[in-house]
Structure 1
């Protein structure tokens, strides 16, 4: 059984490995050897070729591979009015590596009009055709909030927004403005990528998120916080900022979310099953589908999926984008049927576990292996759903 609207039985998260000539062009641009127009021309060529390959692979959804971005999330945030790029002392810490030390910094009140990603999507729209849906991927409002409230950013954020409620209101309005302008261009499938929930699956990271340093008491004094209460307060805040931002979206705009535990050069940042967040995220977030990582034991079992409402879909990320080793088809099929104990098979789809290049560096696999993974997703989906 195929689906005519996203998510599709055979789906992908959205980012792809950049071709070598695009890496070269970006280096030349950074060195001042190419103009912005020349870089854009190279990006246009790479995206045009990528779209052709996605269609040839039999995918029903196309993305621009995030080829115009350096990061899956920061580039979008840099495009918001009132935000600038910043260099910080330490990058994100992954299991085996540290990322580039880049983040965001507020320069004033934020707003979402005339975002540069509109032009990115306008270019992709020319490739739409019957049965092919252009998709845009952006970081969720909760992800933006957490970036603004990282310890390295918190002082400047509070200088612009002394009252957190005002910050939340402006994040909501910023996203609503962007979604309205994006919809006007013809977008009917928006994916919200969200590591905030993925990080909270990890008990160690969740514990840090509930410390006085991270909790938003506001007075600056030390307190004896109740861990469970502070986590509940945090998850409710993340849920509300996401739901409020999506509340005014048109009914025919398909909104989905991808929950990630970190994806940088084939390594990861968090480990843990979905149980700690399932009763909030799965049960209450107002999206039509959840793209979830289930490629390793780090993701836990399928039992938390029992909390997904019956009118929503789950896209099982069972095919890893972190390694070139191809999964066994029969094992993937068996795991789909195992998940069907908690979510009806008709509400399940299959995808790669994450993007192949959440940052421009890309994961440690070859271009050929990337497309073999996608072919496997297609083959399994056809066998399971017909």
Structure 2
């Protein structure tokens, strides 16, 4: 992993107020599309400058062209309904239901048009160094976007959407490789659903074998990864527990899925949430194949409180008991804004988190 950044981040950044206002004005019909695009590009340039100044890489566009981390796909692929699922989000002291993000599967899923081409073009033109494009993966949709009434007439079981989604992702992945994109990140917040007792009970109530469904999703993701790897693209996969305005969706440790997931998806590196005790220990990292990198998501994006760099360096040392230090890196645990409103921290707090990430990498490895 020595050719990959020791200090990286998952991708999304808080949207500047000017961008949020421009989006609202455009939606209301008061701002023409060309003017919105100018503001989007200027906002992305600001995001790139923040990453450059912090020493974070590879670069992203902050996901500033997205409403949420999956929205580019759901807006440009046939088969998604206008209805949104109602998801239970956890915050530690309460549970909230919210349906303002995501869209239910409501028809046969089919690739209609490119959905990351503009992001790739902007980064190819403006990124000061290596950049990455993120794609969602099939498990997200299997867990969060299937509904018996809305999706069932087209896909009787939630697992039935797996192959069609994988085909969609493979088409976009092939196009990204043709664009010359060298780094792709696949975001998988719902793998932990297969370690979540609440979700496991739900699947079993539907007559689904959770382990068989997990392995079906793994193989679908592996097909996307293999396609990219065959075209010379480096691939990372990010696993967290959901990230919505400082809340999370899933509970569970890596232990229950590590052997299947780490051994089954042939990525170059994993980006793993490890900012709280909800993630468990580093012991499951023993299932990561030799030569595969691990980015430790030690720094939370859910609050603005700054972590102790001594504690972070100590935790890197702990992880090095299971993965060689030369195969490790550090990052925030997830994006700062997986959907447009973002997490409850300020722009300055976000910058300090990125600076801290780079400082820890410098301390541990002598370089970011």
**What secondary structure does 1:83 align onto?**
strand
**What secondary structure does 1:195 align onto?**
coil
Match of 1:25 in 2: 22
Whether the aligned pair in 1 keeps the contact of 2:299 and 2:357 (CA below 8 Å) is yes
Quick check: 1:120 aligned with 2:116? no
Structure 1 residues 214-293: aligned runs within 5 Å: 215=208, 230-249=209-228, 250-293=230-273
Match of 1:357 in 2: 337
1:325–1:184 CA distance, 2 compared to 1 (3 A): same
Quick check: 1:36 aligned with 2:33? yes
Match of 1:218 in 2: none
Structure 1 residues 79-94: aligned runs within 5 Å: 79-80=76-77, 82-88=78-84, 90-94=85-89
Deviation at 1:325, TM superposition (A): 0.4
Quick check: 1:180 aligned with 2:160? no
**What secondary structure does 2:205 align onto?**
coil
Unaligned runs of 5+ in 1: 216-229
1:148–1:97 CA distance, 2 compared to 1 (3 A): closer
Deviation at 1:186, TM superposition (A): 1.5
Deviation at 1:76, TM superposition (A): 2.0
Whether the aligned pair in 2 keeps the contact of 1:201 and 1:276 (CA below 8 Å) is yes
Which moved further from structure 2: 358-367 or 114-123?
114-123
Q: What are the Cα deviations for residues 20-78 of structure 1, in whole angstroms up to 9, with x where unaligned?
A: 11111111122222233222221111001111221122123110101111111133222
Q: What are the Cα deviations for residues 101-127 of structure 1, in whole angstroms up to 9, with x where unaligned?
A: 441444445126x31321221111102
Deviation at 1:234, TM superposition (A): 1.4
Quick check: 1:60 aligned with 2:40? no
Structure 1 residues 1-386: aligned runs within 5 Å: 3-5=2-4, 8-80=5-77, 82-88=78-84, 90-95=85-90, 96-101=95-100, 102-111=102-111, 114-129=113-128, 132-151=129-148, 153-158=150-155, 167-212=161-206, 215=208, 230-249=209-228, 250-386=230-366
Q: TM-score, normalised by structure 2?
A: 0.91
Looking at structure 2, the residues matched to 282 and 152 of structure 1 have their Cα atoms a distance apart, in angstroms, of 34
Looking at structure 2, the residues matched to 275 and 38 of structure 1 have their Cα atoms a distance apart, in angstroms, of 49
**What secondary structure does 1:87 align onto?**
coil
**What secondary structure does 1:17 align onto?**
coil
Looking at structure 2, the residues matched to 256 and 277 of structure 1 have their Cα atoms a distance apart, in angstroms, of 17
Which moved further from structure 2: 29-38 or 15-24?
29-38
Deviation at 1:152, TM superposition (A): 5.1
1:156–1:117 CA distance, 2 compared to 1 (3 A): farther
Q: TM-score, normalised by structure 1?
A: 0.87
Deviation at 1:380, TM superposition (A): 0.6
Match of 1:223 in 2: none
Whether the aligned pair in 2 keeps the contact of 1:77 and 1:144 (CA below 8 Å) is no
Count of aligned positions: 360
User: Cα RMSD over matched residues?
Assistant: 2.1
Looking at structure 1, the residues matched to 105 and 75 of structure 2 have their Cα atoms a distance apart, in angstroms, of 9
Q: What are the Cα deviations for residues 266-292 of structure 1, in whole angstroms up to 9, with x where unaligned?
A: 011122211111111112212111111
Looking at structure 1, the residues matched to 351 and 18 of structure 2 have their Cα atoms a distance apart, in angstroms, of 19
Looking at structure 2, the residues matched to 152 and 138 of structure 1 have their Cα atoms a distance apart, in angstroms, of 27
Deviation at 1:202, TM superposition (A): 2.1
Looking at structure 2, the residues matched to 35 and 12 of structure 1 have their Cα atoms a distance apart, in angstroms, of 33
Deviation at 1:243, TM superposition (A): 1.1
1:335–1:24 CA distance, 2 compared to 1 (3 A): same
